[in-house]
Structure 1
Amino acid sequence: MQQNHEKVALVFGGSRGIGASIVKRLAAGGYRTAFTFVSSEAAAQALAADVDADGGTTLAIRADSADPGEIADAVARTVERFGRIDAAIVNAGLFRMAPIDAATLADLDAMLAVNVRGVFLAIQAAAGAMNDGGRVVTIGSNVAIRTGMAGASIYQFTKAAVAAMVKGIALDLAPRAITVNNVQPGPTDTDLNAGALDLLAERSPLKRVASPAEIAGLVAYLLRDEAGYMTGSSVTIDGGFTL
């Protein structure tokens, strides 16, 4: 594993599921890590304790990705603690199901605030504090390619927006050699899918769902030196779900 003992990563939405696996994977690879959380304080503190017990260094920051001020504060606190940011992973997201005739304005505004505006602002803030040659990775979804179910139209178009956003921001940051890529997981074994894992596994060509560690592994690769020529891409990791 590539060691990164002088590097710092900030994970937006890092206390549970895929985000927590990313924090653990990067910490194991030598990154000093900061991560944000909103409601899962117990999970956040447990994750920080686990990382510290394994010899890593991490900082848990309460920050709502729907709040521009808290996004900026998370970046400032990371720089204050660690002195720099080399990688930003934007995993924070909000998922609400509702068909078009039942979706509310509150649902629409909430998902836009976190899944689109929050992603843009997190990248903007982190890149402003990032060293040249840094890395940005967003966590999108394979629903940007294929929904597969009714009631997910708002969530789908927010994730499609992230895939498009990454292309434009990659061009903006290319002069600084900062790469920007989007990882699009399919069904993954997290609490979001806890009640549907068997059904989702049956629908998969590989007859299983992903582990969060598999998604974290792809993120870790995109931060490596070997991935320095890859930018503006959306990479789907879904076991063939969208084939």
Structure 2
Amino acid sequence: MTEKAPLTGKRALVTGGSRGIGAAIARRLAAEGAAVAVNYVANASSADALVAELTDTGHQAVALRADVGDPAQTKMLVSQVVAEFGGLDIVASNAGVEHFGPLESITAADFDRVFRINVAGQLFVTQAAAAAMSSGGRILLTSSISARIGVYQHTLYAASKAAVSAMVLNLAPELAERGIAVNAIAPGGTATDMAAEVGARYTPPALRGVSSDTIVASMNAIGRLAEPDEIACIAAFLLSPEASYVTGATMDASGGWM
């Protein structure tokens, strides 16, 4: 007798799902039986390729464009998922932007962009999703270990991710009244396109010139970056029925970052 996949019959939305950690989460949720909506804002080709990959292997998936930094588009996105799948049970809010810069360079526009996407984007996707979910729904936001470690010229991004952890802690009792769990995952360094673009910025000035592999090995108990699939495994647990007694938590997925 074949064992049924744990998320069979569930309907999922992954924001920022076209690449990196988001794409890995979409693949994992699909593999566990969920129908998956892959949200993107700019990279249509990657989203379409991922959906084709999933549907070619027998999974139900669709690509949906929306800028989660716009609450109106976010609300429409959730409505599209409900129309496509007949409901919504799971949200993995992964869309986000990075920011590095010295204090003197931070502008109001920088603040608005980072907090509009990293904080407001996750708040309003939670708002729209919770309105569409019934009891048993699960929502996972994306924080970062940057919320609890000091990184040179990383203040704005770190503050936005600390806000995410505060949101899930305070949303938990409110959403529990509806039978909905909300948590966050806090990845450490992960081998993604974004990490390749900005990874060197995480190096303290005193260590510039030292190889990134050496730095990671000295600051991380496991001694390497995570693979996106490893983060997706943790996300899938928090979005599964097995995490029925977990809400309001931010789960560290840092490899023992010190």
Q: Determine whether 1:51 maps to 2:54.
A: yes
- TM-score normalized with structure 1 length: 0.95
Q: Secondary structure at the match of 1:205?
A: coil
My pick for the range that moved more, 58-67 or 15-24, is: 58-67
Q: What runs of 5+ residues in structure 1 fail to find an aligned partner?
A: none
1:15 touches 1:37 (CA, 8 Å); kept in 2? yes
Aligned to 2:231: 215
Q: State the shift of 1:131 in Å.
A: 1.6
2:20 to 17, 21, 24: 17
For residues 61 and 198 of structure 1, the distance between their equivalents in structure 2, rounded to whole angstroms, comes to 37
1:2 touches 1:224 (CA, 8 Å); kept in 2? no
Aligned to 1:68: 71
Aligned to 1:121: 124
Q: Determine whether 1:145 maps to 2:141.
A: no
> What is the 5 A alignment of 1:68-147?
68-147=71-150
Aligned to 2:207: none
For residues 247 and 232 of structure 2, the distance between their equivalents in structure 1, rounded to whole angstroms, comes to 18
Q: What runs of 5+ residues in structure 2 fail to find an aligned partner?
A: 200-211
For residues 105 and 150 of structure 1, the distance between their equivalents in structure 2, rounded to whole angstroms, comes to 20
- Which one-letter code corresponds to 1:153 in the other structure? T
For residues 200 and 75 of structure 1, the distance between their equivalents in structure 2, rounded to whole angstroms, comes to 41
2:216 to 201, 208, 223: 201
- Which one-letter code corresponds to 2:144 in the other structure? S
Q: State the shift of 1:199 in Å.
A: 5.4
> What is the 5 A alignment of 1:220-239?
220-239=236-255
Q: Which runs of 4+ in 1 moved over 3 A?
A: none
For residues 123 and 236 of structure 2, the distance between their equivalents in structure 1, rounded to whole angstroms, comes to 21
For these two proteins, the number of residue pairs brought into alignment is 241
Aligned to 2:165: 163
Q: Determine whether 1:174 maps to 2:176.
A: yes
2:141 touches 2:184 (CA, 8 Å); kept in 1? yes
Q: State the shift of 1:177 in Å.
A: 1.6
Aligned to 2:256: 240
For residues 215 and 20 of structure 2, the distance between their equivalents in structure 1, rounded to whole angstroms, comes to 17
Query: For the structure 1 residues 200 and 170, does the alpha-carbon distance in structure 2 shift closer, same or farther, using more than 3 Å as the test?
Result: farther
- TM-score normalized with structure 2 length: 0.90
- Which one-letter code corresponds to 1:99 in the other structure? P
For residues 121 and 92 of structure 1, the distance between their equivalents in structure 2, rounded to whole angstroms, comes to 12
For residues 189 and 68 of structure 1, the distance between their equivalents in structure 2, rounded to whole angstroms, comes to 30
For residues 17 and 240 of structure 2, the distance between their equivalents in structure 1, rounded to whole angstroms, comes to 20
My pick for the range that moved more, 222-231 or 112-121, is: 222-231
Aligned to 1:28: 31
1:140 touches 1:184 (CA, 8 Å); kept in 2? yes
2:38 touches 2:51 (CA, 8 Å); kept in 1? no
Q: Determine whether 1:186 maps to 2:188.
A: yes
For residues 200 and 128 of structure 1, the distance between their equivalents in structure 2, rounded to whole angstroms, comes to 44
- Which one-letter code corresponds to 1:164 in the other structure? A
1:10 touches 1:85 (CA, 8 Å); kept in 2? yes
